């Protein structure tokens, strides 16, 4: 049904062949740009994530919720980094793929698997930060180590389910040489479009909405607190908590602004324009170039995620109860309950 609707948009073309394929796009720029970007990402992702994993496993008994999420994030980034030499070699050889069909599917799968694991684990970290600041008492029972570990397992399962169709669509094929197709070969492109759009909605736009909501509540709560709600509490402690939350907020916001948002917007436009068949070749060339440029930027998350560890590493050291029951939040709780004021974020707006 959906294929019939999509094919009706371009009556002059075969329903199994994307109309935009007739537009010849010059992609010579990527044979220099992409190997440089992916080599850079490979070096930094392997190095930084190795440091994170080494330091973390040296103190495994002291893991808290934040560090559990961070270890899972570093693990998926490290795995993705291992796949990058294959892409670098392929682009240096001008898109020639010599590593076989299975490695083609695996490398393409690891890109999307890492991408959405990163987004989902960053969402978990954001929700954890929201609960720690807006619901500091409830989070002690809600976010036990067992609950956090179960959440991480669920993330791995959900992301694998979302991205495993990549194994079906990504494959090798001949054009002028043996290529490794990213999205889908031309005759399967219309079948790929619905999956690609759903992947963007569930894998990016939904988590992005959750993160935006969480941090809007966090910022609102902190500013209301610092603007005189707690006159009986030392402001230095409030400012300290604000600065700690600010590091997390800024880092995750930059990750989404640089890595995730441009890639998903340009890729969505690229997929939709490619299937309509009523797009000038110049427009298609521009959109394709933007999409190909933002793709390695999306891969930068494999090492930029490490900034979250190094910039906010102090919050990964104490145990969960000590973070939640520090002087600021404990005094806040006593003060608010003493004057019969509501504690939760939703009642402070």
For the chain, the average pLDDT equals 78
Show the tokens assigned to 164.
């495993």
Identify which of 104, 155, 98 has the alpha carbon closest to the alpha carbon of residue 127: 155
Res 11 pLDDT > 50: no
- Identify the H or E element spanning 185: none
| More confident site: 236 or 258 | 258
Helix (H, G, I), strand (E, B) or coil at 289: helix
Over range 154-165, report the average pLDDT: 95
Q: Which of 63-67, 124-128, 160-164 has the lowest mean pLDDT?
A: 63-67
- The domain 27-347: what is its CATH number? 1.20.1070.10
Show the tokens assigned to 168.
């079906």
Res 70 pLDDT > 60: yes
Give pLDDT, residue 227: 63
Residue for token pair 């494999």: 302
Q: How far apart are CA 179 and CA 194, in angstroms?
A: 24
> Is the distance from CB of 80 to CB of 59 less than 8 angstroms?
no
Q: How far apart are CA 7 and CA 22, in angstroms?
A: 16
Over range 250-254, report the average pLDDT: 80
Split at pLDDT 50, 70, 90, the class of 174 is confident
Show the tokens assigned to 154.
């669920």
Question: How many Cα atoms within 13 Å fall on the side-chain side of residue 93?
Answer: 16
* pTM of the full structure: 0.79
Q: How far apart are CA 257 and CA 274, in angstroms?
A: 25
Identify which of 69, 71, 68, 66 has the alpha carbon closest to the alpha carbon of residue 52: 71
Q: How far apart are CA 236 and CA 124, in angstroms?
A: 28
Give the DSSP per-residue string, 307-326: HHHHHSGGGGSS-HHHHHTS
- 261-301 pLDDT per residue, tens: 999 999 989 888 888 877 888 888 888 889 989 999 999 99
Split at pLDDT 50, 70, 90, the class of 54 is very high
**Where are the strands (E) in the chain, listed by range?**
172-174, 178-180
Res 14 pLDDT > 50: no
- 312-345 pLDDT per residue, tens: 654 554 443 333 333 344 444 444 444 343 444 4
- 228-245 pLDDT per residue, tens: 544 544 455 555 555 556
The most confident of 3-7, 25-29, 102-106, 248-252, by mean pLDDT:
102-106
| Helix 281-299 and helix 261-276, axial crossing angle in degrees, nearest 10 | 150
Give pLDDT, residue 81: 94
> Is the distance from CB of 245 to CB of 136 less than 8 angstroms?
no
What letter would DSSP give residue 279?
A: S
The torsion region of residue 179 among left (phi > 0), alpha (psi -120 to 50) and beta comes to beta
How many angstroms separate the Cα of 269 from the Cα of each of 26, 200, 264, 265, 301?
Answer: 19, 11, 9, 6, 22
């Amino acid at each position: 049904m959906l294929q019939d609707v999509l094919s009706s948009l371009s009556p002059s073309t075969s329903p199994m062949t994307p109309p935009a394929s007739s537009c010849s796009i010059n992609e010579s720029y990527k044979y220099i740009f992409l190997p440089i970007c992916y080599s850079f990402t490979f070096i930094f992702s392997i190095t930084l994530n190795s440091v994170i994993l080494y330091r973390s496993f040296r103190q495994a008994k002291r893991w808290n919720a934040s560090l559990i999420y961070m270890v899972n994030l570093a693990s998926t980034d490290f795995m993705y980094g291992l796949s990058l030499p294959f892409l670098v070699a392929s682009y240096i050889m001008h898109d020639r793929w010599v590593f076989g069909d299975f490695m083609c599917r695996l490398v393409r799968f690891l890109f999307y698997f890492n991408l959405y694991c990163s987004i989902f684990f960053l969402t978990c970290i954001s929700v954890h930060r929201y609960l720690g600041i807006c619901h500091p008492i409830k989070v002690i029972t809600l976010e036990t180590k067992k609950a956090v570990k179960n959440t991480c397992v669920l993330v791995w399962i959900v992301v694998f389910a979302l991205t495993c169709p990549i194994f079906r669509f990504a494959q090798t094929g001949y054009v002028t040489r043996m290529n490794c197709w990213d999205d889908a070969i031309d005759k399967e492109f219309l079948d790929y479009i619905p999956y690609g759009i759903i992947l963007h909605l569930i894998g990016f736009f939904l988590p992005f909405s959750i993160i935006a909501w969480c941090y809007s509540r966090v910022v609102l709560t902190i500013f209301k607190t610092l603007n005189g709600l707690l006159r009986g509490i030392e402001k230095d402690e409030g400012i300290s908590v604000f600065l700690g939350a600010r590091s997390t907020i800024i880092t995750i916001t930059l990750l989404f602004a640089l890595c995730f948002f441009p890639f998903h917007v340009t890729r969505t436009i690229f997929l939709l324009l490619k299937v309509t068949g009523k797009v000038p070749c110049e427009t298609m060339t521009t959109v394709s170039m933007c999409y190909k440029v933002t793709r390695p930027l999306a891969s930068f998350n494999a090492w930029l995620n490490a900034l979250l560890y190094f910039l906010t590493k102090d919050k990964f050291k104490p145990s969960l109860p000590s973070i939640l029951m520090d002087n600021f939040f404990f005094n806040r709780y006593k003060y608010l309950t003493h004057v019969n004021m509501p504690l939760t974020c939703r009642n402070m707006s």
